[in-house]
Amino acid sequence: MLRRLPVLSLLCAWLCASGALLDMAQVFAWTRMFAGYARTESIAAAARETFDPAKPCALCCAVSKARETARQHGPAVPAAASERMILILERSALFVAASGQRSWPEGEPTSALARGGDVPVPPPRPNLA
């Protein structure tokens, strides 16, 4: 649960900052309006009544008022497109692979088996040329 809390907090902050909560509220309002109209009218008439701009419900009016307020009090847009705001700058540390041991490790002494006789030599080949 403790690992999910930062992720959920970040998601909630992103939804609030991007205005997606207002979009979700608008979809909820349209769904409620459509369901109410569909009880008494056909599907096409219910859709037409739902999206009629002359008949907004109280929730639609509240969402549009909140959008207008957010537009008025929102952050200022930079004058030039070349201006950029860096919010977080994290520089990675330089990685140096260094070992605490500075010399080659001493190997254990090994000895090979000694041969007792001469190495056999193959017989000479005849010259076929």
- Condensed to tens digits (0 to 9), the pLDDT of residues 48-86 reads 999 998 988 999 999 999 889 888 886 666 555 556 666
Q: Residue 27: which pLDDT band, with cuts at 50, 70 and 90? A: very high
Whole-prediction pTM: 0.50
Q: Given this model, what pLDDT does residue 62 score?
A: 92
Tell me how far apart the terminal alpha carbons of the chain are, to the nearest angstrom. 87
Mean of pLDDT over the chain: 82
- Token representation of residue 112: 């090979």
Q: How far apart are CA 28 and CA 62, in angstroms?
A: 12
Measuring CA to CA, which residue among 14, 74, 48, 53 is closest to residue 23?
14
* 76 in Cβ contact with 63 (< 8 Å): no
Q: Residue 47: which pLDDT band, with cuts at 50, 70 and 90? A: very high
Q: Given this model, what pLDDT does residue 80 score?
A: 57
Q: Given this model, what pLDDT does residue 110 score?
A: 77
